[in-house]
Chain A
Amino acid sequence: MENRIFRFLSIVVCAVIFFSPTSGCVSKSSQKDSKPALVIWHWMSDREDTLQQIAQQYETETGVKVEFQLFAPSEAYGNKVRASAQTDTLPDIYGILAETRDYASFIKAGFVEDLTPYMEANNALWKKQFFKKALSMDTFVKDNQFDVLPGIYGVPIDVTNIQFLYNKDLFAKAGLDTNKPPRTFEQFKAVAKKLKENNIQGLVSGWGEIWMINCLADNFAWNIMGQDKILATIKGEVPYTDPDWIKVFSLFDEMGKSGLLASGMITMVNKHAEQTFANQRAALAFNGSWCVNVYKGMNPDLNYGVFLPPKISDKYPVVVWGGAGSSFKVNAKSKHKEAAIKFLKWITEKKQQIFLSKETHNLPSNRNALSNLSPHLKQFASAMKNTVHPSQLPNSEYPRVIETMGKGIQLIIIGQQTPEELAQKMQKIKEQEMKRSEKYNKK
């Protein structure tokens, strides 16, 4: 019996060693026969079915075959794109899931087509149909730090922004006005107090993921000191020890002390935060527009509203993080460049945008496609005019400084660090990084 299994195994192995190279070749050559005209790599596993439908639709309309290929999760997708760049085997259309720095590197290596001429053609017909802010992440402005030629390098297929949400039922339970979410930080703290008195958990968010903390910190910073001063800080002209920055950090200190934040929030992954809010175990959430779909799945009866971050100062407007949700780039080395651009034009047309947003419950990037949105998504859509994103600035902060900020705020929230300590630490690291990059650039 035992020997039989081992004998069987050995036969299988031998057979396979002989046959597998050929089988590999067979599958390769058969693939060549039916090679699709356009290959698109995407990472949006939850939209796979919808994208396949879109591809089919395009083929029936134009006769051009489009193949969406999914690589997920995003970590695997990132690996695939980077590795393919090294062997020059990127597909016709793909996405770059990385910071501006990496995006710029892809452009400089010649992997991304500049779409400005197409966007500006016919009186900027294509460009105009997008939300104004939708293109900001794909736009490189003049004199940017990365020496990328100014232009638009990507096409967003949806937009997103990150705001606060509140549970109306829990607000009612705590005796709060369900139609008046807090607008200022003082009101925000008053809400926290009320919730705490009624033993209701306050705010949940995925602050274990650093970018979500930094997102709120950026909102505050924009509101307190405005874009110019933030840019000056990034350029190294204003230190992080500036009172305005310390004010930003101290807001988190206040939030931590007020008991507003749900326990365990600083190591919470966003999916856990979404479960908590959807199941009415927390009254407030800080989350992106994708959450509408998530909450709908987990608790269709959830009664909630959307509101902007609380106002800190009157000097500058209240903003939210946002812009393109997912955007595609055209491979500048592709043989089917024109066809690829045509397809991206088609997918951002009103009809397809409505279809996509209906099927995937995301905000369309085409601002004329808002007709069928759910009330919650409409609220998110109306905030698109308030969106900002660090990548719209010509300069980017060093990744180490950004990391220090997110992690430092985590520590501030649990009282392990003071805002002043964090400011000093960030400034120190900032100076180190500036020195280091100077050294490299000289070389």
Chain B
Amino acid sequence: MRISSIYKIKNGLGKFVAYTILIFVALACIFPLFWMFGSALKTQSTVFSDFSLFPKHMHWENFTIAWTKAHFGMYFFNSVLYTVITVGGLVFFSTMAAFAFSRLDFPFKNALFLMFVCMMMIPLPGQFVALYVLLTKLHLVNTRIGYILPQIDAGQALAIFILKTFFDNIPRDLEDSARIDGCNKWGIYWHLAFPLAKPAIAVVIIFNCLAVWNEYLLAMLVFSDKSLMPLPRGLMVFQGTHMTEYALLMAGVSITVIPIILVYLVMQKYIISGITAGALKG
């Protein structure tokens, strides 16, 4: 990984301070993850009585039990499907819209943009009844598409907002030279703006993957078929109204967290490789 250095800390004290901060915060961030993983290796009776981070007797079988008991195979497939489609659709629709709001001129542009911004503000509780009535009218209840479209809507306002901020930063002269080269609007969008906005797109992907991956309220509302539901439905088996199976739940949560961290690992490269790499190819 190549990072161009802007600020160089030369003296030792500065380096010491910098690393102290980094390591301290890093420990605070990583500890819960270890705890979660350690708890996944304990049993229901030792989760809250055994305080060692990793127990003497590791119950690795918790992971397989959690996997089968929660029918993770089916739910994993569903969740991957929903996440890829929702986030994929979201990225394309919102980059296009953000590009238009940032780079093109047309009547009602500002009013429309304002409308999207308004959408971010009204909190969700209260909308579910109207949404359900709508989905019923459209015959989208208990269908995959009926789950995906509202989620694209839920994510796109913020995505457009983030992307517009970054599109606004693209220098005009790059756009002009592309236009001289004979690019039309679609060309500028696809060959110039899209590659240049990769860090921002990566951010949008990271945020929305997490949101879609963990979503369950909408899933419970839209689906009645178990076979269509996403991963959090599987985890519900371990959390009763009164009874929670902590060790298995932690094993399940540990499993579900891995794909999200992987997505982040892949995407953060785009954040870092940043504008220079994109500009060369554009």
- Do residues B132 and A87 form an inter-chain contact, with CB atoms below 8 A? yes
Distance between A82 CB and nearest chain B CB, rounded to angstroms:
7
- Do residues B236 and A298 form an inter-chain contact, with CB atoms below 8 A? no
Measured CA separation A71–B219 after assembly (Å): 9
Q: Using an 8 Å CB-CB cutoff, how does the interface string of A2-26 with B read, 1 for contact, 0 for none?
A: 1101100110110011001101110
Measured CA separation A290–B224 after assembly (Å): 28
Instruction: State whether A20 and B85 are in contact (beta carbons under 8 Å apart), knowing that A2-B198, A27-B143 are contacts in the complex.
Output: yes
Of A40-48, A99-107, A312-320, A342-350, which binds chain B? Answer: A40-48
Distance between A234 CB and nearest chain B CB, rounded to angstroms:
28
Contacts of B131 in A (CB 8 A): 83
Distance between A74 CB and nearest chain B CB, rounded to angstroms:
6
Q: Using an 8 Å CB-CB cutoff, how does the interface string of B217-241 with A read, 1 for contact, 0 for none?
A: 1001100111110000100111111
- Quick check: is A297 within 8 A (CB to CB) of the other chain? yes
Contact of A76 among B217, B240, B241 (CB under 8 A): B217
Interface of B is mostly: helix
- Quick check: is A380 within 8 A (CB to CB) of the other chain? no
- Do residues A73 and B239 form an inter-chain contact, with CB atoms below 8 A? yes
Measured CA separation A41–B221 after assembly (Å): 12
Distance between B224 CB and nearest chain A CB, rounded to angstroms:
5
Instruction: State whether A290 and B142 are in contact (beta carbons under 8 Å apart), knowing that A27-B228, A69-B224 are contacts in the complex.
Output: no
Residue of A nearest to B273 (CB): A2
- Do residues B132 and A28 form an inter-chain contact, with CB atoms below 8 A? no
- Quick check: is B257 within 8 A (CB to CB) of the other chain? no
- Do residues B220 and A76 form an inter-chain contact, with CB atoms below 8 A? yes
Of A3, A27, A41, A44, which is in contact with the most chain B CB atoms at under 10 Å from its CB? A27
Measured CA separation A189–B129 after assembly (Å): 49
Residue of B nearest to A275 (CB): B48
- Do residues A293 and B242 form an inter-chain contact, with CB atoms below 8 A? yes
- Quick check: is B110 within 8 A (CB to CB) of the other chain? no
- Do residues A72 and B140 form an inter-chain contact, with CB atoms below 8 A? no
Contacts of A83 in B (CB 8 A): 128-129, 131-133, 221
Measured CA separation A94–B181 after assembly (Å): 65
Contacts of B143 in A (CB 8 A): 21, 24-25, 27-28
- Do residues A290 and B89 form an inter-chain contact, with CB atoms below 8 A? no
- Quick check: is A115 within 8 A (CB to CB) of the other chain? no
Contacts of B261 in A (CB 8 A): none
Distance between B81 CB and nearest chain A CB, rounded to angstroms:
8
Contacts of B60 in A (CB 8 A): none
Contacts of B216 in A (CB 8 A): 76
Instruction: State whether A74 and B49 are in contact (beta carbons under 8 Å apart), knowing that A24-B145, A28-B143, A82-B129 are contacts in the complex.
Output: no
- Quick check: is A53 within 8 A (CB to CB) of the other chain? no
Instruction: State whether A87 and B217 are in contact (beta carbons under 8 Å apart), knowing that A24-B143, A28-B143 are contacts in the complex.
Output: no
- Do residues B239 and A45 form an inter-chain contact, with CB atoms below 8 A? yes
Q: Using an 8 Å CB-CB cutoff, how does the interface string of B248-282 with A read, 1 for contact, 0 for none?
A: 00000000000000000010001001000100010
Contacts of B240 in A (CB 8 A): 44-47
- Quick check: is B136 within 8 A (CB to CB) of the other chain? yes
- Quick check: is A373 within 8 A (CB to CB) of the other chain? no
Measured CA separation A271–B249 after assembly (Å): 14
- Quick check: is A299 within 8 A (CB to CB) of the other chain? yes
Residue of B nearest to A43 (CB): B241
- Quick check: is A70 within 8 A (CB to CB) of the other chain? yes
Instruction: State whether A69 and B145 are in contact (beta carbons under 8 Å apart), knowing that A2-B270, A79-B128, A84-B132 are contacts in the complex.
Output: no
- Quick check: is A31 within 8 A (CB to CB) of the other chain? yes
Instruction: State whether A72 and B236 are in contact (beta carbons under 8 Å apart), knowing that A24-B143, A79-B220, A87-B133 are contacts in the complex.
Output: yes
Q: Using an 8 Å CB-CB cutoff, how does the interface string of A76-111 with B read, 1 for contact, 0 for none?
A: 110110111011010000000000000000000000
- Do residues B148 and A297 form an inter-chain contact, with CB atoms below 8 A? no
- Quick check: is B144 within 8 A (CB to CB) of the other chain? yes
Residue of A nearest to B93 (CB): A13
Within 8 A of A (CB), among B112-143: 128-129, 131-133, 136, 140-143
Contacts of A332 in B (CB 8 A): none
Contact of B220 among A71, A275, A288 (CB under 8 A): A71
- Quick check: is A279 within 8 A (CB to CB) of the other chain? yes
- Quick check: is A141 within 8 A (CB to CB) of the other chain? no
- Quick check: is A176 within 8 A (CB to CB) of the other chain? no
Measured CA separation A93–B270 after assembly (Å): 51
- Quick check: is A291 within 8 A (CB to CB) of the other chain? yes
- Quick check: is B155 within 8 A (CB to CB) of the other chain? no
9 tightest A-B contacts by CB? A46-B240, A24-B143, A83-B132, A13-B88, A76-B220, A290-B242, A87-B136, A72-B236, A46-B243
Give chain B's interface residues, CB within 8 Å of chain A: 44-45, 47-49, 84-85, 88-89, 91-92, 128-129, 131-133, 136, 140-146, 148, 194, 198, 216-217, 220-221, 224-228, 233, 236-245, 266, 270, 273, 277, 281
Give chain A's interface residues, CB within 8 Å of chain B: 2-3, 5-6, 9-10, 12-13, 16-17, 20-21, 23-25, 27-28, 31, 39, 41, 43-48, 69-77, 79-80, 82-84, 86-87, 89, 271, 275, 278-279, 288, 290-291, 293-294, 297-300
| 5 residue pairs bridging A and B, Cβ less than 8 Å apart | A16-B84, A27-B143, A79-B220, A87-B133, A297-B44
